[in-house]
Amino acid sequence: MSSLKLGLIGAGKIVRDQHLPAIRQTPAFRLAATADPYASLDDVPAFTEMHAMLDAHPDIEAVSICTPTALRFETARAALSRGRHVLLEKPPGATLSEVEALIELASQQQVTLFAAWHSRYAPGVAQAKAWLANRRIDQVHIEWKEDVRVWHPGQAWIWQPGGMGVFDPGINALSIATAILPAPFFLQKAKLWMPENVQAPIAAKLSFVDAQGAAIAADFDFRQTGAQTWDIHVESDDHSLSLTQGGCKLAIDGEVILDEEEQEYRGLYDHFAELIGAGRSAVDIAPLRHVADAFLYGYRETTEAFIE
């Protein structure tokens, strides 16, 4: 199978850090051009907007949309309308209704739409899911804490409506939890800490329960300094499972059974190619639904202003 020509919409930090290396390692795709009004990549044809890119390169068959969240819907709708397969960086949209509209449009256009929950492709996630599949879940504790100044320097959009604040990384944890836990779970209460000068939370605590009564707690914080924390701990049938380092390290009953380097985005692009080849889409809205529930149901507490 020949490589599919791919266009990148957005050429910022996440593209440079993750997408570009993964595309270079994935034989199924060949990067043809980028579209970004403010940035470009070395040795890649660059355009300031997507339509100009597609007009100049009509052989581009697929695009990856890596813009700030609030911009993704119109960009994705335009790409799907022009018959291109679309990979959406997480979260797939600023609202659930946007994502549902894109799912319908992709079906009408008979092209692939892929909501790319990259954390699900961490090395330990599939094995954790298999181990938990037929077990009774007793309790789960999710701790996802990082330094926003390290991971989102100068990215003011993350504090605006649709930017999601601490849920930008927190939704990664929820994408793993919804993948590995054997039953759906539901929000019971939430507390969101809102800096007085922005529109999105800097920290959040969430309490969920599943249909069997298992308690699932999530603690997200953008104010972590020093060592960063991306951990999920599950108690199940008198056993324990710990998925740490963002899913790269897996321990069962305290014994480390997997500890590998992160290769999430390579897995994303491999799966995107498989979906295109099979003529299918994959858009799971469960992680975004949990974030929407938190904003809808959460108690807000004002905290000190965020100054970068």
116, 137, 160 — which closes off a domain? 116
Q: How high is the pLDDT of residue 2?
A: 80
Range of the domain at 133: 121-261+292-303
Residue 266 lies in a domain: no
Mean pLDDT along residues 282-295: 98
User: For residue 298, which phi and psi values (nearest 5 degrees)?
Assistant: -80, 145
73, 91, 116 — which closes off a domain? 116
| CA distances from residue 15 to 36, 215, 260 in whole angstroms, order as listed | 11, 36, 22
| Packing angle of the helix pair 96-109, 72-81 (nearest 10 deg) | 10
75, 97, 116 — which closes off a domain? 116
In whole numbers, what is the pLDDT of the chain averaged over residues? 96
According to DSSP, the residues that pair with 207 across neighbouring strands are 189, 217
Domain containing residue 151: CATH number: 3.30.360.10
- Band of the pLDDT at 1, cuts 50, 70, 90? low
Alpha carbon 5 to chain centroid, angstroms: 23
Rounded to the nearest 10 degrees, how much is the dihedral formed by the CA atoms of 138, 116, 37, 13? 60
**Residue among 13, 90, 129, 205 flagged as catalytic:** 90
The structure tokens 């897995």 sit at 267
pTM confidence score:
0.95
The structure tokens 């993750």 sit at 18
Catalytic status, residue 90: yes
Note whether 297 and 166 are same-domain residues.
yes
Note whether 164 and 297 are same-domain residues.
yes
Mean pLDDT along residues 230-250: 96
Residue 282 lies in a domain: no
Q: Does the pLDDT of residue 115 top 90, yes or no?
A: yes
Q: What is the pLDDT of residues 6-51, one digit of tens each?
A: 999 999 989 999 999 999 999 999 999 999 999 999 999 999 999 9
| CA 212/CA 189 separation, integer angstroms | 17
Phi-psi category of residue 74: left, alpha or beta, with phi > 0 → left and psi -120 to 50 → alpha: alpha
Note whether 139 and 38 are same-domain residues.
no
DSSP designation for 254: T
Note whether 165 and 21 are same-domain residues.
no
Mean pLDDT along residues 186-207: 98
Q: Does the pLDDT of residue 146 top 90, yes or no?
A: yes
Note whether 78 and 215 are same-domain residues.
no
Residue 204 lies in a domain: yes
Residue 257 lies in a domain: yes
Mean pLDDT along residues 243-267: 95
Domain count, the chain: 2
Q: How high is the pLDDT of residue 5?
A: 97
Specify the pairing of strand 249-252 against strand 255-259.
antiparallel
User: For residue 45, which phi and psi values (nearest 5 degrees)?
Assistant: -55, 130
